[in-house]
Amino acid sequence: MNGTAEVPISARERAQRERMWLARLDVDAVRQVRPPEAARSDRSGPARLAAGLERVLSLPLSAILLASSPDTILYGMTKAESLLERWSFYASPRFASDTSAFFHMPPSPAAVEVSPARHILATPERGTVVDVRFPSTFVPVNPALRDGYVAGVRNRTVHARWWRHAAGPRPTIVCIHGFQAGSHLINVEFFDVRSLYVDGYDVALIQLPFHGPRAEFIDGWSYLSLDVAHLAEVIAHSVSDVRALLSHLFESGVPQAGVKGVSLGGYLAALLAAVDARLAFSIPVAAPASLPDLIADLSPFGHVLTLLLRGIGWDLDDLRRHMACHTPLQYPSRLDSKRHLIVATQDDRLVRPYHAHLLGEHWKGAAVAWRRGSHQIHLNRRAYRVRLGEFLSGIGFEPEAVS
């Protein structure tokens, strides 16, 4: 590593490395893949604007990672051994092939509170919008983190907003938002909730840990971090809360439910496909397939990451192995390939096109749809709605007639 002679490894460690996703997928080769020509042909004014805005998106994200990781960076320079001891838990071989070892099934939610939603722009026809709240039962997987991780009272309550038809439970789409995008008002528009509702579906919007009313400071603050341990636990926390919401929906009579997530939410949607067989589908949109690679691509933060890894004697593969416990590429999906729809955008400068190709190679046979636009600005919404409707209809996730 880092230009030094290769250190011999034991047979056990060699076998463990061979179980990692990076031994099966050639990430360096896939990184060179570009969107299909048809997806790259649009040079309209809106498309150029979207691409231009994308160039500066990595700057605030880099700043957030830097501001949320000072302890990690300091320890990497002064107490690397202590840091690596903390992180070694997440490279345990027992996490490499069994999602249930790391992602524990939460109990069905207790003390669920349901109340009419406030501050909505319009009430849906023949239905209601309610806010759902219940205690999060997540306990950090690593016992060493159980005293300090779930700091703050706000983060201990799960919040969701449920658009539901008055005639009774319908097939339900659970939408998982992206980083620093916890506002229900924004996500109603971003996920085109009104159109999905008019088409006959119920829709549930969940708010992730440290987002929306669960944030103690700024929306999303404390979620992303260079601390391998904290990031692993917050991903496990997110998965646990979504599964608990799914349990509540099913117990309320919902016949089918699937997940659709954007960006960070897409990463979680892809991961949930490997964790929860109850899902009808998984639709990751503009989703990273590997968080270490996403972070390494950030400019200028990728340079800070390189220095940190060099300081602790690691390379990017070491980081990938320690984050494999929550990487969708590590585990087989529990769903049929036809129940996946990978959505990527042509000018995404944050989650680059190779992430969609990595996930497509992992989910053999999964459909990949390309949209015009960038990471945050998605164009050709009408064509995308048609494609989404065809996908849902093709797997039998049919909306009921609105009556």
- C-alpha closest to that of 290 among 267, 318, 266, 308: 267
* Residue whose structure tokens are 């002679």: 5
| Over residues 332-348, mean pLDDT | 94
Report pLDDT digits (tens) over 38-50.
Answer: 555 455 555 565 5
Lowest-confidence range among 64-68, 101-105, 270-274, 383-387? 64-68
| Over residues 382-395, mean pLDDT | 93
Please indicate whether residue 305 or residue 72 has the higher confidence score (pLDDT): 305
Give residues with Cβ within 8 angstroms of 391, minimum separation 6: 281, 283, 341, 367
Residue 75 has pLDDT above 60, yes or no: no
Residue 5: the pLDDT is 47
Task: Name the pLDDT band for 386 (thresholds 50, 70, 90).
Answer: very high
Superfamily of domain 52-394 in CATH is Alpha/Beta hydrolase fold, catalytic domain (3.40.50.1820)
- C-alpha closest to that of 393 among 204, 259, 249, 199: 199
Residue 402: the pLDDT is 47
Residue 403: the pLDDT is 43
| Over residues 311-335, mean pLDDT | 95
Report pLDDT digits (tens) over 354-383.
Answer: 999 999 999 999 999 998 887 877 777 788
Task: Name the pLDDT band for 139 (thresholds 50, 70, 90).
Answer: very high
| Over residues 243-264, mean pLDDT | 97
Mean pLDDT, the chain, whole residue set? 87
